[in-house]
Structure 1
Amino acid sequence: MSQSNIANVGLLERTFRLRERHTTVRTEAAAGVTTFMTMAYILAVNPLILSDAGMDRGAVFTATCLASIVATVLMAFLSNYPFVLSAGMGLNAYFAYTVVLKMGYSWQMALTAVFAEGVIFILLSLTPVREAIFNAIPMSLKHAVSAGIGLFIAFIGLQNCGVVVDSSTLVGMYNFSANAGAFSTVGITVALAMVGILLTAILMVRKVKGHILWGMLLTWGLGILCQLAGLYDPSVKGSLLPDFSGGFGVPSILPTLGQMDFSELLTPDFALVVFALLFVDLFDTLGGIMGMAAQAGLLDNEGRLPRLKGALLSDAVGTAAGAVLGTSTVTTFAESAAGMAEGGRTGLTALFSAALFGLSLFLSPIFLAIPSFATAPALVVVGFLMMGAILKVDFSDYAQAIPAFLCVAAMPFLYSISEGIALGVISYVVIHLAAGGEKRRSLNPALCVLAVLFVLKYLFF
């Protein structure tokens, strides 16, 4: 190794404290690539959703990349955690389909609401409020959040690849025999996803380093072979091969850059929109960070996360910057757990992911070609790993176990991390108050206030 390489490694060690976290540059690089690949779909999905609100699709793509880079780099240096950020799913749908299409606001007004939410988040992150909320949640619920996110991630993966479909029982499994005529367009992708899950599991059992990343790449490779052999028809879901016909140019950001409208900033309806965005983002962020930190063993003995303020501030600044650039709320992605499962433990993982967001600006055809059936195995395996956190909950103590169970069940069933936290917190407080004695005395006052706020949210919003 050359002197310059040794110096670079030494700098990375001092900056990110790799040995202290029992990791290496190679491990962090693999983790960063894995996290990026599991969430690269946002670069295709977010512009598509926001274009329904009338926004320029190319500009949103560029804004999403840039906002992800800003927020993730801040996360790397302010917190030294392997969390990666981008425009949040669910929040972008609320932006486009509720605020703009249903409530009738312009997308410029909606961006203003996101910006206002980001500014409020920044102020809260500079105070002990968000950190106090995190620390008030008991360890049993923190473990439950981790397990619940695991189920939620696995469900998203199975749904995105078509294994889980709508049915008369709300959800069901894709029926190959009933859809035999669509095998070459849809069924083959479902089959590839299921093969990919088993392939990734085998690599995991055999302790192959980077099994999640290899599982995604091999599944995608199998899909390309199926397309070349004529087993997969790209006419419905598109080609699995990267399309470079449009060249490598970066789409202009000017159609969305700084396009905000403050004319209705002080109206009650606008305040309600800001509150809704703030509420969902707050608890999705806290829930995601809490669950992933618990899974990766980053919490201290009291269940607290060191340097939490830096992580929350990165999220808040990312949201405000994203609004200025032209995208919906930026949040910490639960898919960061994929990189953490590969051994990512420091901000260097986040930095590698941020670099790939930068690269995707110029090589977008490659990243946008990654199909959902190739990322599904990663999400399912990560879901399995995160579910292990539920083993740390004492199920002989019903006052701890029942709220934990409700928290875990609500996340995939209600399709929301924040709803799972809400039901877990409310049930925890009510059960402990009813139990009396030591259990009542052990309640954190901040947790009680949080439970009241959740109840008011359900009653009035």
Structure 2
Amino acid sequence: MSAVGVNRSLVERMFRLREHGTSVRTELVAGLTTFLTMAYIVFVNPAILGDAGMPREAVFVATCLIAALGTLVMGLFANYPIALAPGMGLNAYFAYVVVQGMGYDWRVALGAVFISGCLFLTVTLLRLRELIIRGIPHTLRVAITVGIGMFLALIALKSAGIVAASPATFVTLGDVHKMPVLLAVLGFLVIVVLDRFKVRGAILIGIVTVTLLSFLVGGNHFKGVFSAPPSIAPTFLQLDIKGALAAGVLNVVLVFFLVELFDATGTLMGVARRAGLLQAGKMERMNKALLADSGAIFAGSLLGTSSTTAYVESATGVQAGGRTGLTAVTVAVLFLSCLFIAPLAGAVPGYATAPALFYVACLMLRELTELDWDDSTEIIPAAVTALAMPFTYSIANGLAFGFITYAALKLFTGQVKQVHFMSWLIAAVFLFKFVWLGGH
């Protein structure tokens, strides 16, 4: 057997491509697609954590490394097409609430992330997290997918410049005469038309098309290809665990833990459902996937970044055909390459990836057809879950409102026995968080 044949056989055994109805080419394209839609994190995360006083260049390196490491483990260990990176909402909470708002040093905040990561890993190892997920009713599982779709839509429209902030109405129409908006609309149409004609890699083609046009008419500038990676020393192992414990940051740790738990869990379930990897509402290799993202939080705090989580942008790779861990491994390699080709990775503008996100968001809304629209105690919690995610800009908040509403309606309509005990417990935890700790 030739070397190529041996390599193909090895890849087939590792990722079970035929079983999942995919190919090496499809997985590579899917991985590139996912990477392009979330590559912004290697630039945005250092900027946000830099506002907390952290060295931006070191955070850049930490971001690339933890995204590569966490996603690689997800691909090789759990065999899922899901990418990991520092979470956007979590890094904002870290920088603007914990450090700037509460006055903690960023090293102490990293210590709090480490502690929450240890709790997260413990809950996962004891399989309590898997038990929690299995206690989520079908209605809320569907709502999670729909809510993530709506959340993606808001992110996409904002990135494209179609939606803008408004002091009077919170959101309003952006300036549709600007070239980025026009290019984003064009990219969206390209993706939809190509996909309609079953063109493989339609999403990636749309992203590349808009990026190329951005150099011609969008004012985008080519910034070179290679650059030497900065040192990670300023953030590596700089966390202050003792300071975090001494400062009594229980509130901070609990918020990190809850957001990590439900953001990551909701995203894992939503993306896996979109990929057809949920069987009777369960992910076959769920615990491995949970261990991968739990370990990434722990490792990320050591490298010097805020909590790492599964990314909703993985849905773009799934839509491009990604079904196995080979997609994730591809993403991991590309994140690692960002250490050396940061200028090139930064050439893809946000409005080039926005059409892909919006297209996937539109497709995720079809899950609404699975809801029982005749039972208000089922449909209302689902609607609350889905609507709260984009309107509070938080997957965790959507889950919280959904669980509390679900439990309350079942209680007041005499359907207590129909609710899994874990649903009652989750609703109680969220209610405690809102009443005792506030809404951060």
Q: TM-score, normalised by structure 2?
A: 0.96
User: 2:239 matched to which residue of 1?
Assistant: 260
Within the alignment, does 1:446 sit opposite 2:432 as a pair? no
Q: Output the amino acid matched with 1:242.
A: K
Alignment partner of 1:431 is 2:412: no
Matches within 5 A, 1:43-192: 43-167=42-166, 168-176=168-176, 187-192=178-183
1:223-251 Cα deviation digits (max 9, x unpaired): 1121xxxxx4x4xxxx332345xx52011
User: Are the equivalent residues in 1 in contact too, given 2:124–2:290 (CA < 8 A)?
Assistant: yes
In 1: Cα distance, 2:154 partner to 2:371 partner: 22
1:27 matched to 2:26? The reply is yes
Alignment check: 8 A CA contact 1:192 1:219 kept: yes
Q: SS in structure 1 opposite 2:171?
A: strand
Aligned ranges 1:160-309 → 2 under 5 Å = 160-167=159-166, 168-176=168-176, 187-226=178-217, 232=218, 234=219, 239-244=220-225, 247-267=226-246, 269-301=248-280, 303-309=281-287
Decide whether the 8 Å contact of 1:264 with 1:270 is kept in 2: no
C-alpha distance after superposition, 1:328-360 (max 9, x if no partner):
111000101110111111111100100101111
- Percent of paired sites with the same residue: 44
Q: Is contact 1:86–1:330 with CA below 8 Å preserved after alignment? A: yes
Tell me the distance in 2 between the aligned counterparts of 1:268 and 1:408. 36
Query: Using the alignment, how far apart are the partners of 1:255 and 1:416 within structure 2?
Result: 31
1:379 to 350, 357, 381: 357
Structure-2 separation of matches of 1:102 and 1:140: 37
Q: Find the aligned partners of 2:116 and 2:266 in 1 and give their Cα distance.
A: 18
2: CA distance between counterparts of 1:95 and 1:28? 34
What is the RMSD computed on CA atoms of the aligned residues? Answer: 1.4
Query: Alignment partner of 1:143: what SS?
Result: helix
Aligned-residue offset at 1:220: 1.0
- The 5 A counterparts of 1:319-330 are 319-330=297-308
Q: Which residue matches 1:229?
A: none
- The verdict on how the C-alpha distance between 1:265 and 1:175 changes in structure 2, with shifts beyond 3 A counting, is closer
CA distance in 1, matches of 2:248, 2:367: 40
Which among 385, 389, 402 is matched to residue 407 of structure 1?
385
Determine if contact 2:90/2:306 at 8 Å carries over to the other structure.
yes
Contact 2:72–2:328 under 8 Å retained in 1: yes
CA contact (8 A) 2:161 2:175 kept: no
SS in 2 for 1:249: coil
Q: 1:268 deviation in Å?
A: 6.1
Residue deviations 1:88-114, cap 9 Å, x none? 101111111111111111111111111
What's the CA shift for 1:254? 0.8
Query: 2-side partners of 1:214 and 1:240: how far apart?
Result: 20
Verify the 8 A CA contact 2:109 2:244 in the aligned structure 1.
no
- Three-state SS of the structure 1 residue aligned to 2:369 is helix
Number of the residue aligned with 1:179:
none
Residue 403 of structure 1 and its aligned partner are, at CA, apart by 0.9
How many Å separate the matches in 2 of 1:26 and 1:450? 41
Secondary structure of the residue that 1:386 maps to in structure 2? Answer: helix
CA contact (8 A) 2:115 2:241 kept: no
| Contact preservation (8 Å) 2:388, 2:401 | yes
Counterpart position of 1:180: none
Amino acid at match of 1:334: V
In structure 2, C-alpha distance between the alignment counterparts of 1:360 and 1:343, rounded to whole Å: 24
The answer as to whether partners of 1:240 and 1:371 remain within 8 angstroms in 2 is: no
CA–CA separation in structure 2 for the residues paired with 1:296 and 1:435 = 35
CA deviation string 1:141-194 (max 9, x = no partner): 111110110010011011122110012211111134xxxxxx6xxx11122112
State how 1:7-18 maps to structure 2 within 5 Å: 7-18=6-17
Instruction: Give the distance between the partners of 1:23 and 1:400, measured in 2 at CA.
Output: 36
- Report the number of matched residues: 436
Gaps of at least 5 residues in structure 2 are: none
Distance 1:409 1:78 in 2: 34
Corresponding residue of 1:456: 432
Matching residue of 2:367: 389
Residue 77 (structure 1) shift: 2.1
Distance across 2 between alignment mates of 1:276 and 1:124: 15
One-letter amino acid matched to 2:94: F
Cα distance in 2 for residues equivalent to 1:268 and 1:7: 56
Per the alignment, residue 331 of structure 1 pairs with 309
CA distance in 1, matches of 2:70, 2:416: 40
Provide the secondary structure at the position in 2 that maps to 1:256: coil
- Cα pair 1:84 1:353 within 8 Å, conserved: yes
Superposition misfits of 4+ residues, deviation over 6 angstroms: none
* Distance across 2 between alignment mates of 1:294 and 1:263: 40
